[in-house]
Structure 1
Amino acid sequence: MSTVTSVGGHTGSQRRTAVLAGVIGNVLEWYDFAVYGYFVPVISKLFFPNQTPLVSLLLTFSVFGVGFVMRPVGSVVFGLYGDRHGRKQALSAVIFLMAISTFVVGLLPTYDSIGILAPLLLVVARLAQGLSGGGEWGGAAAYLVEYALPDKRGLTGSWQQVSVGTGFLLGSLTAAVLTSLVSSDNMLAWGWRIPFLLGVIVGIVGAILRWRLDDTPKFEELERHGDVARSPLTEAFTTFRKPTLLAFGITLHNTVAYYAVLIYLTTWLTTAIKMPRSTALWSGTICLLAFVIAVPIMGALSDRVGRRPLLIASCAGYAVLTYPMFLLASTGVPVYAFIAQLILVLLLALYAGPGPAVYCELFPTRVRYTALSVGYNIPVAIFGGFAPFIATWLIHTTGNSLAPAFYVIAASLATLVTLAWVKETAFAPLE
C-alpha cells in the first residue's frame, strides 16, 4: 500500500528520504565549517607564531571571523541561484565548495615553512568556506520546511538545526578524541591536519546525497505555474523589506549565543579560566549532544504552542541567566562549568528548535532562499562570526574574564525587542 501523499504529489516515503538526505548533507557541511573553531589554539601557534599568546589568539579568531565576511556574498550568489533554478542544484554546489576549501586548509604549509604567505592562504581558504556557508543555512532551512507537512513545519525545520549541531558535535568530538590520543608535539606536527583532510570525504558523500534529491514540492509548484522570481534579491529589499529586516533582528540572539556558547566557551574555559583543554572539549561535546537531542523536541513543541513563546523564553532566559552561568563556569570546577554550559545550551535549543520554521514562514517561496539567507547571514557575519574575537577583545580591554557575558546579554535583549513585531506564524499556511 502506498504511503500518504503530501503536497506536490510526493509520498511520505519520498518526503522522509529527501529530508534525511538534506539533513545528512547539512551535517557534513557544518562539520567542515566548524572544525576550524575547535582547533584555534593549535592553529594560532602554527600560523601566527612569534606573538604573545593573546595576539595569536586574536589573529586566529579574526581569521575565523573572516570566513563569515563572505557569508552575505554566498547568501546572494547561492540564494539567487536557488530561487531561480531550484534548491537541489544550489545545495549540491554549496557542499562541494565547502569540501574543497576545508581539504585545502589541511594541506596548507605553516608559517615556519613559507612565512606570511601561510596565514594569507588560510584567509583565502576561510573566505571560500564562508561563501559556501552563506548558501547553506538558508537553503537547507528552505528545503526542509518546504517539504514539511503543514502541522509539522517546526519539527521538520528543526532538523536543520539538529544537523548544524551534529556537524559541530562531530567537529568537537574529533578535536576531543585527537587531543586525548595525540601528544601536543604530534598535534602541532601533523595531528591538526586530520579533521581538515577528512573534509574531502565528507564533501563527496554529501554531494552524492544531494545530487540524488528531488526539488521541493513548493518550488516545483512555482515552476509549473511559471511564477519563479526573476529578481529575488530586488524583491527581498523592496516588496519584502520588513520581513527581511525582521530576520536580521531575530538572528542577533540566535547567532551570538550559538557561537559564544557552542564555539567560544570551550576556548574561554581553557585560556581565561585555565581549565585543561581535554576536559573543556569533552564538556562541550556532551553539551552539544544535549543540544542535538533537545532541538527537535522544541521544534515539535512549537507546532503545538506556537513559535513566539519559545523564542521569547530563550531570549529572556539568556538576559537573566547568562552572567550567573558565566560566573559559575569561571570557578574552573569542571562539574560547575558543565552545568553552566548545559543550561545555556538548553536555553539556546528553545530558540533553535522553532528557528528555521520562523525564518521560512516570514517569506513566500519565490524569494525564500534569497531573502532568508540575506536576512540571516548579514548579522551572522557581523555579530556571530566575530563573537569569539569580540569576546576575547572584551576580556583584554576590560580585564574582566566575565565581560563576554554582557555581549551575549545585549544580543538577547535586542532580539527580544524585535520579537514584538514578529507575528505568530505556526498556524498559518506556508505561502
Structure 2
Amino acid sequence: MAYTAASASSPKENASASDARPRRVSHAKAIAAITLGNGLEFFDFTIYSFFATIIGKLYFPVEGQLAQLMLAVGTFGVGFIMRPVGGVVLGAYADRAGRKAAMSLTLWLMTLGSAIVAFAPTYAAIGLAAPVLVILARLIQGFALGGEIGASTSLLLEYGSDRTRGFYGSWQFVSQGLNTVVGSLLGVALAAMLSTHALESWGWRVPFVIGMAMGPIGVYIRRHLDETLSVPASSEEVQAIEVSAVARPLREIFGTHWGVIVTGVVTTIGGTAANYIVLFYLSTYAIKILHMPMSLALWASWTAAFVTAICSPFAGSLSDRHGRKRVLWISRALLIAAVYPAFMVINAVPTVPVLLAVVAGLGVLVAFTAVPNIVMLPEMFPREIRATGMSIVYCLGVSIFGGFAQFFATWLIQLSGNTLAPAWYLIGCGLVSLLPLPFIRETAGRPID
C-alpha cells in the first residue's frame, strides 16, 4: 500500500520530495563536518588548561604553587594574544579564498602547535628554551584559532535560514563543549590510571600527541563541505591573492562598521569570561584552592562542558524564536546574580557532588548567554566581510577577558587573599558587557544578506 501511494503521487511532488531530502542530509553532514573540525581545533587548544598545574611545575620552576600556576595559565592566555592577528589575517583570507581553504589552513597550524608542546623538553633539560617553545606553540595555536572561529561560525550561519541561524550557529558552541568533554575525560583517565611520577614525566603529553594526530582527520572530514562564498576558480588565483585584497575588508570594517566592532567586543566580554572560568578554571580552582585530587576535580570541567553542549542547541533555537538580545539579557543577568553564591557554596562545602551541582547550574546559564552572543556577531556584517568582522570582534573580546581570565582570577586570589575573588571578576565583566546591548540591533528572523 505504501508503494502504491508513493507511485500515485505526481511527478512534481516526487521531484520536490527528492529535492528536499538531499538538502536536509547535506546540511546535517555540513553541521557535523564543521562541528567536528572545529572541536578538534578547540581540543588542541584547550587541553593545555587541564594540565596547567603540571606544565607550570615542569616549565616554570618558580617558588610558590600559585606563582607557578599564574605563569602556566598566563601562558595559556598568551595564545589569545595572537587570536586578533589570526582573526584579521585568516579572516580576510576566508573572505577572499573561501571558508574551506581558511579552515584547512587553521587545522594544519593547530597541528604544528600541538606537536611542539607534545615534544618540547622540560626546563630541567634545556633551561629557558623550554618555556620559550611552549609560548611559541601557544602563539601559533592562538593565531590558528583566531581564523577558525570566524570562518566556521560564518559557514554555519550561511547554511541556515532567517529562522534557523541561531540553531545552526549554536553548534559552534556545541563543538567547544564536546572538545572539553573529551579533553577532561582524557585527563581524568590519565590521572586515574597513571602514577603521579608517570603523569608528570610523560602522561601529560599524550593528549597533545592525540591532538597532533587529529589535524589531518579534521582536514579529511571537511573536504566535501560546500563553499558558501564565491571564490576564485583555480588554485593559482587563490595563491594570487595580494596584500591589498586582504586589506580591503579591513578598510571597510574599520571605516564603516567601527561602531559594530566596539559594541560587539564589549558584549562578548561577559560571555567569554564566564565560559573560560566555568568550563576550564573551576577544575584548576578545585585542585589548588579546594585541595581536591586531579582525578576528581577534572569532573567539574566535564560536567560544565557536557551541560553546555546539551543546552546550546536549545539556546540557539530559543534565540531564533524570541530574539538574541532578550535571551542574552535574561541569561546573563541570572549568571551575574548566581556566580557569587556559587563560589560561596563550593567553598563552604568543598565536596565533589556540591562542586558538580554548582558547575552544572552555571553551565546552563553559560550556554544561554554565550550562544546568542556568538550567533549575533557574524550576523552584524555583510557576507563579503563576515568572517573577518566576526573574527576581529570575537577575538578582541576573548583575547584578554577570556584568555587571561584564569590568570586574573588567580591573581585576584593572591592579591586579596580571598578565595571568592574569581566571582568578582565574572560579575564585573558581566555588568560591563550589558551596557552596549540596547544599542545593538536585533538580528533574529531578519535577512542578513
Please give the range of the TM-score, normalised by the shorter of the 2 chains.
over 0.9
| Counterpart secondary structure, 1:330 | helix
Map Cα deviations across residues 367-419 of structure 1 (whole Å, 9 max, x no partner).
11111110110121111100100100000000000011011001111111121
Distance 1:212 1:182 in 2: 40
**1:152 CA displacement:** 0.7
| Counterpart secondary structure, 1:273 | coil
| Counterpart secondary structure, 1:429 | coil
* Residue 436 of structure 2 is aligned to residue 418 of structure 1: yes
Residue identity (%): 39
| Counterpart secondary structure, 2:256 | coil
Distance 1:238 1:320 in 2: 38
* Residue 384 of structure 2 is aligned to residue 366 of structure 1: yes
* Residue 264 of structure 2 is aligned to residue 247 of structure 1: yes
**1:409 maps to what in 2?**
427
2:325 to 300, 305, 308: 308
**2:313 maps to what in 1?**
296
Amino acid at match of 2:389: A
* Residue 45 of structure 2 is aligned to residue 33 of structure 1: yes
Distance 1:26 1:89 in 2: 14
Amino acid at match of 2:203: G
**1:4 CA displacement:** 7.1
Q: What RMSD, in angstroms, separates the aligned Cα atoms of the two structures?
A: 1.9
Cα pair 1:252 1:411 within 8 Å, conserved: yes
Distance 1:294 1:139 in 2: 23
2:153 to 121, 124, 141: 141
Q: Per the alignment, do residues 229 and 15 of structure 1 end up closer, same or farther by CA in structure 2, a change over 3 Å counting?
A: farther
Cα pair 1:162 1:296 within 8 Å, conserved: yes
Cα pair 2:300 2:356 within 8 Å, conserved: yes
Map Cα deviations across residues 337-365 of structure 1 (whole Å, 9 max, x no partner).
22211111110111233233211211111
Map Cα deviations across residues 297-331 of structure 1 (whole Å, 9 max, x no partner).
11111111111111001220122111000111112
Which sits farther off after the overlay, 49-58 or 171-180? 49-58
**1:64 CA displacement:** 0.6
**2:114 maps to what in 1?**
102
Distance 2:58 2:411 in 1: 21
Alignment of 1:63-74 (within 5 A): 63-74=75-86
* Residue 168 of structure 2 is aligned to residue 168 of structure 1: no
| Counterpart secondary structure, 1:385 | coil
Higher gyration radius (CA): 2
Map Cα deviations across residues 144-198 of structure 1 (whole Å, 9 max, x no partner).
0011122110101100110111112211111111111111110011101100011
Cα pair 2:282 2:300 within 8 Å, conserved: no
**1:133 CA displacement:** 1.0
Cα pair 2:60 2:131 within 8 Å, conserved: yes
* Residue 409 of structure 2 is aligned to residue 391 of structure 1: yes
**1:355 maps to what in 2?**
373
**2:337 maps to what in 1?**
320
* Residue 339 of structure 2 is aligned to residue 330 of structure 1: no
Map Cα deviations across residues 239-263 of structure 1 (whole Å, 9 max, x no partner).
1111121210111011100111111
Normalising by the residue count of structure 2, what TM-score does the alignment of the two structures yield?
0.91
Cα pair 1:4 1:12 within 8 Å, conserved: no
Amino acid at match of 2:81: V
Normalising by the residue count of structure 1, what TM-score does the alignment of the two structures yield?
0.94
Cα pair 2:299 2:356 within 8 Å, conserved: no
Cα pair 2:121 2:130 within 8 Å, conserved: yes
| Counterpart secondary structure, 2:436 | helix
Distance 1:289 1:238 in 2: 41
**1:284 CA displacement:** 2.3
Q: Per the alignment, do residues 178 and 425 of structure 1 end up closer, same or farther by CA in structure 2, a change over 3 Å counting?
A: same
* Residue 165 of structure 2 is aligned to residue 153 of structure 1: yes
* Residue 230 of structure 2 is aligned to residue 220 of structure 1: yes
| Counterpart secondary structure, 1:198 | helix
* Residue 332 of structure 2 is aligned to residue 339 of structure 1: no
Cα pair 2:55 2:72 within 8 Å, conserved: yes
1:238 to 231, 255, 259: 255
**1:381 maps to what in 2?**
399
**1:90 maps to what in 2?**
102
Cα pair 1:329 1:341 within 8 Å, conserved: no
Q: Per the alignment, do residues 148 and 222 of structure 1 end up closer, same or farther by CA in structure 2, a change over 3 Å counting?
A: farther
Cα pair 1:145 1:157 within 8 Å, conserved: yes
Map Cα deviations across residues 83-106 of structure 1 (whole Å, 9 max, x no partner).
111111001100111012112211
Cα pair 2:40 2:179 within 8 Å, conserved: yes
Distance 1:400 1:229 in 2: 47
Distance 2:62 2:329 in 1: 46
Distance 2:66 2:79 in 1: 20
Distance 2:324 2:313 in 1: 13
Cα pair 2:180 2:301 within 8 Å, conserved: no
Distance 2:337 2:383 in 1: 37
**1:47 CA displacement:** 0.7
| Counterpart secondary structure, 1:220 | coil
Query: Where in structure 2 are there 5+ consecutive unaligned residues?
Result: 1-13, 234-244
Cα pair 1:158 1:355 within 8 Å, conserved: no
Distance 1:295 1:264 in 2: 20
Amino acid at match of 2:188: A
| Counterpart secondary structure, 2:435 | helix
Amino acid at match of 2:326: P
Q: Per the alignment, do residues 122 and 145 of structure 1 end up closer, same or farther by CA in structure 2, a change over 3 Å counting?
A: same
Distance 2:364 2:30 in 1: 28
Query: Where in structure 1 are there 5+ consecutive unaligned residues?
Result: none
Cα pair 1:4 1:11 within 8 Å, conserved: no
**1:222 CA displacement:** 11
2:300 to 277, 283, 308: 283
Alignment of 1:193-208 (within 5 A): 193-208=205-220
Distance 1:273 1:325 in 2: 14
Distance 2:398 2:309 in 1: 20
* Residue 140 of structure 2 is aligned to residue 128 of structure 1: yes
**1:40 CA displacement:** 0.4
Amino acid at match of 1:361: E
Map Cα deviations across residues 7-64 of structure 1 (whole Å, 9 max, x no partner).
xxx8333222222211110111111001000000111111112522111111111111
